[in-house]
Structure 1
Amino acid sequence: MPNELRLLVEIMKMKNDSIESFKEFLTNTDWELFLQLAMHHRVYPLIYSKLKKVDERLIPKYVIENLYQEYKKNTFKMLFLSGEMENLSRVFDENKIRLLFLKGPVIAFDIYGDISLRTSKDLDILVQKTDLNRVEELLLSYGYEREEFQDKVEKSKLHIAYFHPQKKIEIEIHWRLNLPPLKEPSFNELWNRKRVSTLTTYQVYFLGEEDLFLFLIAHGSRHGWFRLRWLADIDQLIRNKLISSKNRLSIKAYQHQHLGGKADLLIDHSLLLASVLMKTPINKEIHSLTAGKRSRKLTHLAIKYITVMGHLEINEAKFKKNQQSSIKSNLQWTFNYKFSLKSNLEKFIYLMKLLKPNSADIKTLKLPKSLHFLYYPLRPFLWFWRRTTNL
């Protein structure tokens, strides 16, 4: 990990205004890269809240000023999203449509007790799949437009995006929490365990404690934890004892009941990663979950993946020479992590898709329709042929 990324993590862990944990990382710091990493990981509000109390002689003034400006913009945005969240709750309620907010200001308030300490790009809403048509009609009448561009691989299976051109607000309507084949509770089960936020005047519903915890873990894992903000959420939930022995449901029993075997790996790996990077205190109820060999391997891959994604998004030249690698190598780490995270069934499906012929195979070797079945056994050879020809 670059010095600047390690510094970012250490500041996130900072307690009681003590700088001893990260003082050693302040020398030879590329502060421009530090700011870019804080933006990339979406943790700049949290970083500002910690550094504003630090001796100004240790941190360049322009760094604090930049963080403050971004912190201020985020606070206004979260207030604006809070207002829209309340309006949507009222409109949906009046039309007898049940909805649960998955992320956004309501989650920031629940986890941090302050909406200014967490960022949110849009509002994520969960509804019943049977209500999707009614939801779209309601949103269109309310001024939202369905975004034409949808990620065919993921979004078509998980959510639909809408954008309000005047308010400049994007919302995502979900009918599932996670991508299949990961199992999950029904909407009615989630609704029965819902909570009511005290952030707004009008009632706003969001996920119960266990449901939110497992949703955030599944979401962070699916994206490889490449933004530290997601790991900060897990750390905060555990430190605030929102997930503890007092919970109504045992996490272990709950995950098997609703999410299936893969949830074991997701939780084990996520908690171990939080413990390693954030020094998250794992209590006795879930401590044994982090012992698996596969979890340790995934944690190693995830830390590399977190570094690589910042590397790719910001600028390869910003990283120190002894930590640089080629784009090809970085993408290999991306594949290694995401493939290792898949269940055996998902790995099988993925490999079967690789064997499925595509247009490139047809261009490489044209066969009559009656012989198209031969593309399946020939695909590895055609792929190898294209690779060697290109080289």
Structure 2
Amino acid sequence: MNNIYQLDVSKVPKELIFLLDVIKMETATDITEKYKKSLDQMDWDHFHKLILHHRLYPLLYSKIKLLEKSKVPTKVLNSISHYYQKNTFQMLHLCGQMEYVSKLFISNGISPLFLKGPVLATELYGDISLRTSGDLDVLIPIGELDRAEQLLIEEGYIKDEYIQSVLNDWKWRHHHFTYFHPKKGIKLEIHWRLNPAPTKEPSFKELWDRKRVSTITKYTVYILGSEDLFLFLVTHGARHGWSRLRWLFDIHMLVQKDLHWPRLRSLLQKYKATHIAGQALILSSNLSKTKITKEMKPFIKSTRSQLLGQQAIFYIERMINLHTNPVPQDISKYHSRHLFSLMSIQQKFMFILSTLHPYYMDKETLPLPKKLHFLYFPLRPFLLIWRRGGRQV
């Protein structure tokens, strides 16, 4: 690997390096020779936590069986086998519901694009058992949200009303609603955007025009075009700090597909995401040993991409979980800065401008009738000062 692309991973736990090496190994000899003197010093409890955190047990399952049983504790091997089998049943369950939801939406005039879940596992790994997924993500036009919600509720889904909004800021501050089916145990996220604002992204019509058909089910299931999928996966992974390496292995697998690199480069430039693609490729080449081809080199030349790549190592060193509240304050501050550093100049300007728009907490601080909500604009600075002073209305 060229030194230009190397990141400082000296503080990444040895257990995680071992985990990545096992997934990437060609033969068991490669691992036993490299680790013959250090396996006894391995913290297997931490190794187990890393497997679960990064959701890598499906990929690890087929490889770790090649190692001698004496090298890895039996309880670790049994746990990997358990989670692999549990995930396989989960993915089959999700696959059946995905086909059902696709038929439900299409037959009622709703255009669904499935983003992840079983279609992504099949698309990238060729087997639904080789990737984990806890829910289904479906992108539809924003104008079809009400109809989709009505259909889901009729089917027994319950909406998670966690989004609090004022003056319709949900349309750009958020990007999906969550629904849960208590009997089926299925969580469904209905997206109207790929990512929340101020991310710039293709319109639904553009994505729909470039869609592909998945072959995983009998009934038609639509997925993103290859280049749109790359754009979505790198922006999604970056937004989460690449804190789970499952997302990075997605990139590793996707770049080995038949991507149209000139078209992809144009797409990334248009939506101000070239540096984010560079970050993903640098991380993938360092941690997943992704081969950097001549088509990829233009993305990883910038110093900005390399700095962003190093910033993401922070999450990996510490096994950071951004999905369980409360997130520690120091981690939250670091993540906020990292998100800001991912933005283009235009996006940073729009983000700063968006802070002038009222937040739901303004409504909680000073409840006003809906017809007077426009007053939150001039009142926002005073309400902010009021909250920081620790006072309550």
| Superposed pair shares fold, TM > 0.5 | yes
Cα deviations by residue, 1:116-163 (Å, 9 ceiling, x for unpaired): 111101000011111111111111111111112237698962011111
Alignment of 1:140-155 (within 5 A): 140-150=153-163
Which residue number in structure 1 is paired with residue 257 of structure 2?
Answer: 242
Find the aligned partners of 1:101 and 1:284 in 2 and give their Cα distance: 31
Find the aligned partners of 2:219 and 2:283 in 1 and give their Cα distance: 37
Find the aligned partners of 1:335 and 1:248 in 2 and give their Cα distance: 31
CA positional deviation for 1:331:
4.8
Find the aligned partners of 1:328 and 1:134 in 2 and give their Cα distance: 39
Between Structure 1 and Structure 2, how many residues are aligned?
Answer: 359
Which residue number in structure 2 is paired with residue 344 of structure 1?
Answer: 345
Q: Which amino acid aligns with 1:242?
A: K
Find the aligned partners of 2:75 and 2:315 in 1 and give their Cα distance: 30
Q: Which amino acid aligns with 2:157?
A: Y
Mapped contact 1:225–1:306 kept (Cα < 8 A): yes
Find the aligned partners of 1:272 and 1:288 in 2 and give their Cα distance: 12
Alignment of 1:205-284 (within 5 A): 205-238=222-255, 241-244=256-259, 247=260, 250-257=263-270, 259=271, 262-284=272-294
Mapped contact 1:305–1:337 kept (Cα < 8 A): no
Mapped contact 1:195–1:207 kept (Cα < 8 A): yes
Find the aligned partners of 1:312 and 1:179 in 2 and give their Cα distance: 16
Q: Which amino acid aligns with 1:103?
A: K
Which residue number in structure 1 is paired with residue 20 of structure 2?
Answer: 9
Q: Do structure 1's residue 55 and structure 2's residue 55 form an aligned pair?
A: no
* DSSP-derived class of the 1:219 partner: helix
Q: Do structure 1's residue 80 and structure 2's residue 93 form an aligned pair?
A: yes
The runs of 5 or more residues in structure 2 that have no matched partner are 1-11, 366-376
Mapped contact 2:240–2:322 kept (Cα < 8 A): no
* DSSP-derived class of the 1:139 partner: helix
Find the aligned partners of 1:297 and 1:208 in 2 and give their Cα distance: 29
Structure 2 CA distance for partners of 1:42 and 1:151, relative to 1, 3 Å: farther
Which residue number in structure 1 is paired with residue 311 of structure 2?
Answer: 301
Find the aligned partners of 2:146 and 2:381 in 1 and give their Cα distance: 39
Cα deviations by residue, 1:300-356 (Å, 9 ceiling, x for unpaired): 110112223438999xxxxxxxxxxxx665555434433322323444455567799
Find the aligned partners of 1:148 and 1:375 in 2 and give their Cα distance: 25
Alignment of 1:1-391 (within 5 A): 1-17=12-28, 18-19=30-31, 20=33, 26-150=39-163, 157-238=174-255, 241-244=256-259, 247=260, 250-257=263-270, 259=271, 262-310=272-320, 330-348=331-349
Find the aligned partners of 1:328 and 1:192 in 2 and give their Cα distance: 43
Q: Which amino acid aligns with 1:188?
A: K
Find the aligned partners of 1:174 and 1:355 in 2 and give their Cα distance: 25
Structure 2 CA distance for partners of 1:248 and 1:37, relative to 1, 3 Å: closer
* DSSP-derived class of the 1:180 partner: coil
Moved more, 175-184 or 114-123: 175-184
What is the aligned-residue identity percentage?
44
Moved more, 180-189 or 76-85: 180-189
Find the aligned partners of 1:102 and 1:373 in 2 and give their Cα distance: 40
Find the aligned partners of 1:357 and 1:116 in 2 and give their Cα distance: 44
Provide the alpha-carbon RMSD of the alignment.
3.3
Higher-RCO chain (CA-CA 8 Å, sequence separation at least 6): 2
Find the aligned partners of 2:352 and 2:40 in 1 and give their Cα distance: 47
* DSSP-derived class of the 2:50 partner: helix
